[in-house]
Amino acid sequence: MSATLNLGTDGNWATKKDTILAYNDENSNFKPLPFSFDRASSATRVNKDGLIETVGSGEPRIDFKDDSKGALLLEPSRSNLITYSENLNGSGWSNTGATITENQSISPDGSLNADLIELDSNLDRLAAVLGSTGGTYTFSFYIKAKEGESGVWRTRVNGDSTLWQNTQVNDTEWTRVTQTFTKTGSGNIVVYPAYRVDGTSTLFNAYIFGAQLEVGSYATSYIPTQGGAVTRVADTMPNYLNIRPLNIGNSYTLFLDADLNDFDNNKVFCEIENSNSSSSFSIRNIIGGIRVYNNLDASYPIGGQLSVNNKFAIRVDGNSYKLFVKGLSLIGSLGTARDIGEIKFYGHNTELKINNFTIDNTALSDAECEALVN
């Protein structure tokens, strides 16, 4: 498919501070049609070399963690509550029996700043104790076994209850451990990136980097701290992309390939307006997923929980919509189609990774749309 406008097809991205440009397959250049972008803080991404990298305030993040072609990463605001994320001897950490040697291995950010932790006897442990309010929390960190070793590493979190987790760790790759738990009301929560239990743990010496505790039901991109909690502000695309200069008519096909980490609260993550600035349709992260507006409020439920990776195709041909979703056949259709004028993506409510977004200035066939989403 030769797209009139796309973001991210075959890894084609053009970004600068506060701006993301759209690409045109037809003449192999970037259109002077910028998506506006904003984030009032620095943030991290995984670059093409597979390393965690910090980018400045207002810089869009093309993240290569899951795909060599990259994806535009939009995340809600989160704070790392652990005050020393890379120094396990720092303030806020409590050590019982463990030996910690700082800066002993190259970490996931490419620097010599991962600490070695050695557990010599049963119940050796490392913990961070933090005050809290009620809510859902996610604890995470990166771990790699000491050279020549591998096995089961034991971790623990204390919220409303004690939760243990076993993770298989080797000495060749970094693994991000994550644990999500709840806390009702105020009081301390305790997170243990290391807790040796004889008969369960089989690995006792490992490198650890990037400890993070955040409010939320999943782990977001790493937020470094060096003495206090740090907040990463939400990524936003505050203005609609005006595609009217492309003269898209009443026959076109939209395709969105996106990853989501959150599926509640009826949050819109993609919205299309027509040339009269009326909402033509929106895609929402709900248990049933596409809602179409066209002089009436009609909803086409997907019929089950959205998966982390989702693909949508919306085909408009004259006076009809047809909607397609990954793993499913045709969802439904509406009459009285409208042209397309503006597009907006929302990442401040939920993590959204845009792998690919295209507009084709033709109405593809049903078979072609099925192939796109599947």
CATH code for position 120: 2.60.120.260
Report the percent of the chain where pLDDT is more than 70.
Answer: 84
| Report field, pTM of the whole predicted structure over 0.85 | yes
Tokens encoding 168: 């298989």
- The answer to whether residues 33 and 130 belong to one domain is no
Angle 34-248-295 (CA atoms, 0-180°, nearest 5)? 105
pLDDT: which is higher, 236 or 32: 236
- The answer to whether residues 296 and 203 belong to one domain is no
**Mean pLDDT along residues 5-13:** 78
Q: Is the Cβ–Cβ distance between 223 and 216 less than 8 Å?
A: no
**232, 253, 280 - which closes a domain:** 232
**202, 232, 262 - which closes a domain:** 232
pLDDT: which is higher, 131 or 286: 131
- What secondary structure letter does DSSP report for 98? E
pLDDT at 276 over 50: yes
Instruction: State residue 288's pLDDT score.
Output: 45
Tokens encoding 36: 């506006």
- The answer to whether residues 163 and 57 belong to one domain is no
- The answer to whether residues 327 and 191 belong to one domain is no
Instruction: State residue 341's pLDDT score.
Output: 81
Instruction: State residue 264's pLDDT score.
Output: 57
Q: Comparing 13-27, 98-112, 202-216, 319-333, which segment has the lowest mean pLDDT?
A: 319-333
- The answer to whether residues 252 and 208 belong to one domain is no
- The answer to whether residues 152 and 178 belong to one domain is yes
**Mean pLDDT along residues 156-181:** 97
- The answer to whether residues 36 and 115 belong to one domain is no
CA 332 → CA 291, 315, 321, 324, 336, distances in Å? 11, 11, 8, 8, 14
| 61-74: pLDDT as tens digits | 999 998 888 999 99
pLDDT: which is higher, 278 or 291: 278
Instruction: State residue 179's pLDDT score.
Output: 98
pLDDT at 286 over 50: no
**Mean pLDDT along residues 205-217:** 97
**232, 252, 272 - which closes a domain:** 232
CA 293 → CA 5, 143, 271, distances in Å? 23, 47, 10
Instruction: State residue 345's pLDDT score.
Output: 84
CATH number of the domain encompassing residue 347: 2.60.120.200
Instruction: State residue 294's pLDDT score.
Output: 43
Instruction: State residue 197's pLDDT score.
Output: 94
Q: Comparing 126-135, 197-206, 297-306, which segment has the lowest mean pLDDT?
A: 297-306
| CA neighbor of 336 nearest in space, from 246, 273, 247, 250 | 250
- Taking the C-alpha atoms of residue 25 and residue 304, their distance in angstroms, rounded to an integer, is 34
- The answer to whether residues 363 and 302 belong to one domain is yes
For the chain, how many structural domains are there in total?
A: 2
Mean pLDDT computed over every residue of the chain = 85
- The answer to whether residues 365 and 250 belong to one domain is yes
- The answer to whether residues 201 and 270 belong to one domain is no
pLDDT: which is higher, 365 or 310: 365
pLDDT: which is higher, 290 or 181: 181
- The answer to whether residues 86 and 209 belong to one domain is yes
Q: Which residues of 171-202 are buried (b: 16+ CB within 10 A; e: fewer)?
A: beebebbebbbebeeeeebbbbbbbbbeeebe
Instruction: State residue 335's pLDDT score.
Output: 64
Reported as a pLDDT band with limits 50, 70 and 90, residue 26 is: low
pLDDT at 278 over 80: no
- The answer to whether residues 207 and 277 belong to one domain is no
**Mean pLDDT along residues 308-328:** 79
**Mean pLDDT along residues 299-319:** 67
Reported as a pLDDT band with limits 50, 70 and 90, residue 52 is: very high
CB atoms < 10 A from the CB of 257, how many?
22
| 83-101: pLDDT as tens digits | 999 999 989 999 999 999 9
| CA neighbor of 80 nearest in space, from 278, 216, 277, 280 | 216
**Residues of the domain holding 115:** 79-232
Reported as a pLDDT band with limits 50, 70 and 90, residue 204 is: very high
**Mean pLDDT along residues 124-151:** 96
pLDDT: which is higher, 374 or 275: 374
pLDDT: which is higher, 336 or 115: 115
